[in-house]
Amino acid sequence: MVLSDPSPLLSVSSPINNIALLHKDAASAGNAVVSTLSSQKTPAAPAASATAGTTGTGTDSTRTPKQPTVATTTTETSRPSKTRVSSSSSSSSEAAIVSKSRSMHARAKNSQQRIVEGKSMLSFMYRHQLDVPAAIIAVVLVSHFQLKIPFAETFLFLQNQDPMNGLYSKAWTDFNFIGFWIVVFTFLRAFVMTIVLKPFAIWAGVKKEHQQNRFQEEGWVCLYYSISWILGMYVLRTSPVWNSWTFWFKPEALFEGYPHTQLPHVMIWYYYVQLAFWLQQIFVLHIEAPRKDFWALLAHHTVTLLLISGSALSNFWRAGNVVFVLMDLADIILAFSKSMKYLGVSDRICDVFFGTFMATWLYTRHYMYAYILHGFMFTAYEMIPFELDISQGKWYCRELAWLPTLGLALLQILMVYWFALILRILVKILKGHSAEDERSDDEA
């Protein structure tokens, strides 16, 4: 082996004489020290001194085989120390990697657990449907009635009233009113389902949790639509649109006097509460047990929200009121019949309710509804001049006139799709089976 640096040769394989000289100097110094100490302490020291001296001053032949060994030992001893340091560093690195891996695994596990427990605000609200909305409602009520904060009343009451005629028109504060009612509906739904309907289902003998949940959902829907339909019919009967109990509205009256920028309090209040309910329905759709037509329902809710907000923005309030009452009646009968089925009522009785629902659906959602769609396609073009003047509430121009027709047509397409499912149920009944909701998942 060839070494480029000669310095190692001086310590390992240099001539013996050089090594001997070094050891002679070291031995002499050692003997001097030992002699001094022996003269001051004990007589046994000279023996040790003599031994040390003999070892230190021996012949070259006795020292020659020892020195390379010492040097070699020293060199070999230094190498494992480097190895041990390297091994220690490697162990530290591995320990750090293991510790970091465990920490990352723990964080991933905690994160996964948080995702399972609640992926978003929706699941959080689902777990706190009573306490969180109740707290918000309490803050608003205390702020208005106790603290007398002026801004709080915008969440509770409509603001933009004309003192001359007592009618109301739209205002920016209406968003506060709508938002508050979204919270109210979240609270009311959870309260009615958990405090009223679930105990009733258990008392009535409904044992399966799946059926209890479905009964709660359908019971709440039946209760809400019943109240909504009664209020909507009251608004309709007190408006110029009312016709008779056989055919509820006059199609031409939907467009007479357009734009309708000022309305009675009950009508605009009812309209905004309906808008809040359907906004809250988007949340409900994601927390209810899944249905086969989830995407159709989501499309229906989206189209409904666009129609409600669009009709309010463009001042077609009368047409919106009529659409509400046409839709609600069939939903009342359907929700009631399904609630009875989950309670274990006889299939024959449920089939009678289903037949009533089917007839109501045909008459309200396809027959009378067709007059509204026809009115926007033809009558509105004849009765309303094309003009876009937002300051006067006029939104009916050639560029926007097709939007109400499109929204109503999309809603009708969805209802035709559901009517096809209804016909499938009718075929099952005629074959001797009981009425089952085609939209719901299998009980199994």
How many other C-beta atoms lie within 10 A of the C-beta of residue 320?
25
**Exposed, middle or buried: residue 43 (CB in 10 Å: 0-12, 13-18, 19+)?**
exposed
How do the domains of the chain map onto residue ranges?
7-64, 67-117, 124-430
Rg (CA), the chain: 46
Q: Give CA 239 to chain center in angstroms.
A: 41
User: How far apart (Å, rounded) are the C-alpha atoms in residues 92 and 132?
Assistant: 49
pLDDT computed for residue 255 by the predictor: 95
Whole-model pTM: value is 0.69
Whether the upstream peptide bond of residue 163 has omega within 30° of 0, thus cis, is no
User: How far apart (Å, rounded) are the C-alpha atoms in residues 376 and 317?
Assistant: 13
pLDDT per position in the chain (444 positions), as tens? 444 444 433 333 444 444 444 444 544 544 544 454 444 444 444 444 333 444 443 434 444 444 444 444 444 444 444 444 444 555 666 776 767 777 777 776 665 665 445 455 555 555 667 788 999 999 999 999 999 999 999 999 999 999 999 999 999 999 999 999 999 999 999 999 999 999 999 999 998 888 999 999 999 999 999 999 999 999 999 999 999 999 999 999 999 999 999 999 999 999 999 999 999 998 888 777 667 777 888 888 898 999 999 999 999 999 999 999 999 999 999 999 999 989 988 888 888 888 899 999 999 999 999 999 999 999 999 999 999 999 899 999 988 899 999 999 999 999 999 999 889 888 887 877 655 555 554 443
Decide if 188 contacts 129 (C-beta within 8 A): no
The Cβ-side half-sphere exposure at 429, using a 13 Å CA radius, reads 20
Decide if 42 contacts 16 (C-beta within 8 A): no
State both tokens at 110: 């905690």
The Cβ-side half-sphere exposure at 97, using a 13 Å CA radius, reads 6
State both tokens at 428: 């099952």
**Exposed, middle or buried: residue 211 (CB in 10 Å: 0-12, 13-18, 19+)?**
middle
pLDDT computed for residue 351 by the predictor: 84
β-bridge partners, 161 = 168
DSSP secondary structure letters along 353-405: HHHHHHHHHIIIIIIIHHHHHHIIIIIHHHHS----BGGGTB---TTTTHHHH
User: How far apart (Å, rounded) are the C-alpha atoms in residues 235 and 242?
Assistant: 9
pLDDT computed for residue 437 by the predictor: 54
